[in-house]
Structure 1
Amino acid sequence: MPELLNGFLSGILIYTKMPIFYVLVGLVVLRMIYRLKRPAIRGVIGEWKVNRRLAKLGGDYRVFADLYVPNGEGGTTQVDHIVTSTKGIFVIETKHYSGWIFGSDRQKNWTQVIYKRKEKLYNPIWQNFGHIQSLKGYLNNENLDIHSIIAFSSDAKLKFKEPFETAHVIHANELNKVIIKFGDNVLSEAELKRINDLLEQLVFTDRLEKRQVKKAHLEFVKRKQFSQKPSKLNQPKVNASAMKSESNKPIPLAKLETAVTVEESANSLGDCPRCASELVQRRGKYGEFVGCSAYPKCRFTLKKEA
């Protein structure tokens, strides 16, 4: 037995001296890292592709990416992309989802279907409406001509039954075509310069400063989420099936703006710091918590403070 063990160890030592051993170990480690960080890597690559595509718009357009815009409530809202020009302002919410996507202007929750699994996602049009309202407040111009664009990755199959009236919901490869179709000037050069100067103040060149702003944003989202959570004491009992049906019931377009204003603050929780997917409220065996919509690929959670 000792001789067998010595032979085994000697064999391992021989293999460890071969370059191919370290190559194989490196490949295994890289595979493990990729599987763990896949959602984040996918999000980074997706944002890079969008930035590269928007850069082809030309000199008449200015592109801002990943901005934290003050929301007037002591916190910020995270905006994926803002494109400015004399033709208007375009606020873009990117979604790096796969599968079939179902939804409409007026539904609170959309549905993502991957094979037989269904997941709910908060209506990205409503989410982007909140971004636009914060942007108008920061730019001090409520009458600003801003266009809402929801851009899904090519992995998503958009299965919408009716056209959208309050936003452009497209694939990311259609972004430039949608933007350049607005050909009339609606902003003066002076107003455009003022807007660009204000947005420039939200651009961070220092990575540490950017991380601090991102951390403060997540802390604000967490505080607001749990402060708005209603107490279970003295709450009337509600039929669960009726409540579920009501939550997905379309609302009239005339009430959309009011509904979005209320629902956005309560349901749009920002983006996951690990993979840039949407944060959503979930329920586990220990109660409710905020987690990443990309679960189980991404297991980021925000724990309630004691």
Structure 2
Amino acid sequence: MNANLILILIAIFVVYKIVIFVYRLNAPKIKGAKGESRVARRLEKLKSEEYNVFNDVLIRTDSRSSQIDHIVISIYGIFVIETKNYSGWIHGHENSEYWTQTIYRNKTKFRNPIRQNRGHIYALNEVFSDFKQVVYHPIIVFSGKAKLKNVYSEIPVIYGRQLLRTIKKKRGTLNLSIDEVNSITDKLNEVRIHGKREKKEHIRQVRNHIYERKQNEKSSNCPRCGGNLVVRQGQFGNFYGCSNYPKCRYTKKI
């Protein structure tokens, strides 16, 4: 084997390692994008004269920016959809801070998607403050190979194949006029952010928010409002609760 061939093989091996490293670094983004793409294709099947569909929406309010996977505006209200592309068993409660993904014996925590979606609705409520009567329909969609094993929620937490059926269930109750739907659609197009710089700033804000939350948890402060965590007694034993209760209802197991 000559020296040139050895150098070529080394170069191929290095490139291969770089590709693997980059893929692993961006794997969550890639998986998330795939999940959102699957849901977007399903939403395309909704009648365009009845539903206005927006995918991957970034908006900015007075307090912060918010990235929303899917928004569907209709005369039946506004559907706010959070997509998760996971595998394994999913466990969670709508009031928990974190949910759990279990693959064999490995357990991984991730942010409660219902709480994430609640923040998105709060941001939309600021943007559409002129429309006081709007009804928001939150939906959490797991588009991967996940199995929803122990999920307790009054808000729909569903598989991708159930999405259109879940949306169409709300057809019985009218919420907005066609003119209001058009006005809300125009408002969303007006405030929606498309620039790469703004998206990078949003990612930076999210990372800072996660860091601050973890620091608060370590320092026995409420990660949601910054209040003190105090020991409280409940039906099933003691737990940590926020000192700002009932304004803040954060809880944590002891």
Compute the TM-score of the two structures, normalised by the length of structure 1.
0.63
C-alpha distance in structure 2 between counterparts of 1:113 and 1:29, whole Å:
29
Per-residue deviation, 1:69? 2.7
Q: Is 1:160 paired with 2:150? A: yes
Partner of 1:172: 160
Q: 2:77 aligns with which of 81, 84, 88?
A: 88
Per-residue deviation, 1:110? 1.8
Q: Secondary structure at the match of 1:72?
A: coil
Partner of 1:271: none
Q: Deviations over 1:170-198 (max 9, x none)?
A: 11222111111221332101110111001
| AA in 2 matched with 1:197 | D
Query: Following superposition of structure 1 onto structure 2, how do residues 174-193 of structure 1 map, counting pairs within 5 Å?
Result: 174-184=162-172, 185-193=174-182
Q: Secondary structure at the match of 2:187?
A: helix
Partner of 1:5: none
Per-residue deviation, 1:136? 1.1
C-alpha distance in structure 2 between counterparts of 1:76 and 1:236, whole Å:
27
C-alpha distance in structure 2 between counterparts of 1:231 and 1:158, whole Å:
30
Q: 1:217 aligns with which of 186, 199, 202?
A: 202
Q: 1:69 aligns with which of 21, 41, 59?
A: 59
Q: Say which one has the larger Rg.
A: 1
Partner of 2:224: none
C-alpha distance in structure 2 between counterparts of 1:149 and 1:191, whole Å:
22
Q: Secondary structure at the match of 2:37?
A: helix
C-alpha distance in structure 2 between counterparts of 1:237 and 1:89, whole Å:
35
Q: In 2 relative to 1, CA 179–22 (structure 1 residues): closer, same or farther, beyond 3 Å?
A: same
Compute the TM-score of the two structures, normalised by the length of structure 2.
0.74
Asked if structure 2 preserves the Cα contact closer than 8 Å seen for 1:64 and 1:82, the reply is yes
C-alpha distance in structure 2 between counterparts of 1:225 and 1:24, whole Å:
36
Per-residue deviation, 1:149? 0.3
Partner of 2:127: 138
Q: In 2 relative to 1, CA 16–117 (structure 1 residues): closer, same or farther, beyond 3 Å?
A: closer
Question: More strand per residue: 1 or 2?
Answer: 2
Q: In 2 relative to 1, CA 87–100 (structure 1 residues): closer, same or farther, beyond 3 Å?
A: same
C-alpha distance in structure 1 between counterparts of 2:182 and 2:162, whole Å:
27
Instruction: Give the root-mean-square deviation of aligned CA atoms.
Output: 3.7
C-alpha distance in structure 1 between counterparts of 2:108 and 2:57, whole Å:
27
Identify the structure with bigger relative contact order (alpha carbons < 8 Å, sequence gap 6+).
1
Q: In 2 relative to 1, CA 161–212 (structure 1 residues): closer, same or farther, beyond 3 Å?
A: closer
